[in-house]
Structure 1
Amino acid sequence: MSLSEDSQDHLPWVIAVCTILSLAFVVGIPGNAFVIWTICGRMKQRSATVVLILNLAIADLLVLGTLPIWIYSIAHTWLFGLVACRFLTFLVYCSMYASIFLIMALSLERFIAVFYPFAAQRWKKKRATYAGVLTIWFLSIAFGAVVIPFRGTVSEDTGLDCMSYNYTSNSQLTACLLLETLVGFVIPFAIISTCYVCVGRRIGKMTCPSRRRSARLISSVVVAFALCWLPHHVFNTISVVSALMEDSYPETARELEDISNMGVYIAGAVAFLSSCINPLLYAFAARNFQSSVRLAKLSKLFEQMAPSVRQEATKEATSLTGKEETLTSMEMI
């Protein structure tokens, strides 16, 4: 979608999309850069949670760095060639997968820390943490590469359009969009939701402030991600349904396609907001920490988010022992 002569009717949508993307860039670039600087420059000891947050900020910064090019292309036209089009698209999708996989890892890490604190001790070693992070980036690159052959269309009338896809059949479109929605949202979010339902029930019975604080923060990251990415995948699903109904119900398929074409750009712009929200959540949470040095609040937040596993295990064991003693006393009565 660009402001060519045949697309002036889309002007309100173009303005809305460019405004959302500009907001994401202005807020997200300094926010994620500050998170990276805080963790790398002010924290000598980095827990598994902090390492995951660092990589989440890096993924968000990578995708936000491409926004000026997308904003210009949406408002005018694509000037950078097919190779750049596909590379930048790959970077965006790679970061999308990395974000959801990292958030899933944060959820699993919190689940293990709450339910299996002793077992978590060997998984929180640096070697295991970095191996997990490398695996996440490898999978993100692999799934992100799927979109490369299909992004960008070239025609004699309009030239290169980097905003569209050159699927050769409805089967190809359906397979690619379902893969993106299932791997990039449905399956990971099902795992994330399950983890937090279990963690929420367990933490409700505990009195450890740091656990409650970190669980609230990470759950906020999860909710923000879901709200930002859900519209994008809803329109993906509409496109799939339209493709499947094209032969049997052509009129309905065209109506669904029009709905998808109308909403896909706004939904895509909203998805970019997920990359700028996390630093805002960290900053808001850091306000709860009293410190004479303002810049130290964020690092203090990260330090208290994931206390040592040994301490957590001790607290857990003490808590369980206390409950067992109480139950024994009640049984004796």
Structure 2
Amino acid sequence: MAETFTVSVTLTTDYDGNETTDYDYSGSGDDESSFMCDRTSARVFRGVYEPPLFCIIFLVGAIGNLLVVWIYTTVRHRLKTMTDVYLLNLAVADLLFLCTLPVWAVDAIKGWDFGVALCKTVSALYKINFFSSMLLLTCISVDRYIAIVQVTKAQNLKKKRLFYSKLVCIGVWLISTLLSLPEFIFAKVKPDHHNKSFCTLVYWNNENNRTKILVLSLQICMGFCLPLLVMIFCYTVIIRTLLQARNFEKHKALRVVFAVVFVFVLSQLPLNSLLIMEAAQATNTTITQCNMQIGIDKAGQVARSLAYTHACLNPLLYVFIGVRFRQDLLKMVKLCARGLNKDGLSKTQTPPKRSSAMSDTDTTPALSI
């Protein structure tokens, strides 16, 4: 007699987008009446892989971004350019993002014991700062385009640009908050089959999973596609302008541009490729290949960890490669080493001025060496 099976599918997604679907198979087979896809191996992998890596990302990223905030609030005292405003907000966003990693590390080890309210809050906070970081990187590339390609206009509108940058940052935080609403709405504490609970996203069970597909599409577009397209356009024009410039160490600046784009693509492309695959899978709720799903779970955990390293690399790529920041950092080191007070910092020798055509103060803090 032929075997017949029915498939019951529960669609959930964990805090960072990993689908945690459990497939229950029941039928009239002679040897087995029911079967369940056991994804314990993926969760064990997560419990071993994520906590130590998250701790490293947290420590390295916290040190770098705290130094950025310290320099802006202690050494410089005020924000002079649009990029200064964006970099300070980027450091704050990265710090808030990093603060969620220890919570997820505990969740990976022992499950979620913090309640539904904190599950929703931490999930939303994580997404707010993830999207704000990506959008602020986009704003930095636009500002560099204006400062290098539209030099005359940038100088004429210098004061207004600083005001506009603050409005843009407010808009970035508002947009990021709106994009994080799905996390706040769908985040729930879901028990598994081993007496553990996890903070996951449980989407509405509507036709063709429209809700999940819409959420993933917005995340892909706003968290990767839009920033990547803007960065490619801006930095392509910047490269062409630098190649035509005179009396400037263009080759060093070009290496910085390539490093910025390369690191962004390297860290974000794997994650968004998996999100695209997950959105495609959401249109088909009859997936029955358990081993493939477990493999996707593990690949997603690695891809997300790679994306998180951007919080560590942002201070290096966008701040410490600048001459001005290196000088300010050296001042801080000397201040701490000599035990000088805050007033002693202003008495340190001012470094010689560089060419005004590409100075850090007015144009390229993110491109100078």
* Mapped partners of 1:290, 1:175: distance in 2: 43
What SS does the corresponding residue of 2:113 show, helix, strand or coil? coil
How far has the Cα of 1:137 moved from its partner?
1.2
Q: Percent identity?
A: 22
Number of matched pairs: 302
Q: Which amino acid aligns with 2:75?
A: R
Q: Which residue of 2 aligns with 1:50?
A: 84
Pair 1:215–1:119, CA change in 2 (3 A): farther
Partners of 2:107 and 2:198 within 8 A in 1: no
Partners of 1:217 and 1:282 within 8 A in 2: no
Q: Which residue of 2 aligns with 1:324?
A: none
How far has the Cα of 1:208 moved from its partner?
5.3
How does the TM-score come out when normalised to structure 1?
Answer: 0.78
Relative to total residues, which structure has the larger helix share, 1 or 2? 1
Relative to total residues, which structure has the larger strand share, 1 or 2? 2
What SS does the corresponding residue of 1:201 show, helix, strand or coil? helix
Pair 1:189–1:268, CA change in 2 (3 A): same
Pick from 56, 78, 83 the counterpart of residue 23 of structure 1: 56
How does the TM-score come out when normalised to structure 2?
Answer: 0.71
Q: Which residue of 1 aligns with 2:157?
A: 122
> Does residue 226 of structure 2 align to residue 187 of structure 1?
yes
Q: Which residue of 2 aligns with 1:236?
A: 275
Pick from 66, 69, 73 the counterpart of residue 36 of structure 1: 69
Partners of 2:132 and 2:176 within 8 A in 1: yes
- 1:181-222, Cα deviation, whole Å (9 max, x unpaired): 012111221111111111111111113548876675465344
* Mapped partners of 2:87, 2:325: distance in 1: 19
Pair 1:159–1:17, CA change in 2 (3 A): closer
> Does residue 220 of structure 2 align to residue 203 of structure 1?
no
Q: Which amino acid aligns with 1:308?
A: D
Partners of 2:203 and 2:211 within 8 A in 1: no
Q: Which has more radius of gyration?
A: 2
Q: Which amino acid aligns with 1:30?
A: I
Partners of 2:68 and 2:319 within 8 A in 1: no
| Structure 1: gaps of 5 or more residues | 312-333
* Mapped partners of 2:181, 2:43: distance in 1: 30
Q: Which residue of 1 aligns with 2:336?
A: none
Pair 1:52–1:145, CA change in 2 (3 A): same
> Does residue 128 of structure 2 align to residue 106 of structure 1?
no
Structure 1 stretch 270-279 or stretch 95-104: which is displaced more? Answer: 270-279
How far has the Cα of 1:307 moved from its partner?
3.2
Pick from 103, 114, 117 the counterpart of residue 69 of structure 1: 103
Structure 1 stretch 196-205 or stretch 125-134: which is displaced more? Answer: 125-134
Q: Which residue of 2 aligns with 1:225?
A: 264
Let me know the Cα RMSD of the aligned residues.
Answer: 3.4
The residue correspondences of 1:1-333 to structure 2 (distance < 5 A) are 7=40, 10-45=43-78, 46-120=80-154, 121-122=156-157, 125=160, 126-155=162-191, 158=195, 160-169=197-206, 170-207=209-246, 209=248, 217=256, 220-246=259-285, 250-251=287-288, 257-281=293-317, 285=321, 294-295=330-331, 306-308=360-362
Partners of 1:238 and 1:257 within 8 A in 2: no
| Structure 2: gaps of 5 or more residues | 1-13, 15-37, 334-349, 365-369
* Mapped partners of 1:172, 1:12: distance in 2: 29
* Mapped partners of 1:164, 1:292: distance in 2: 44
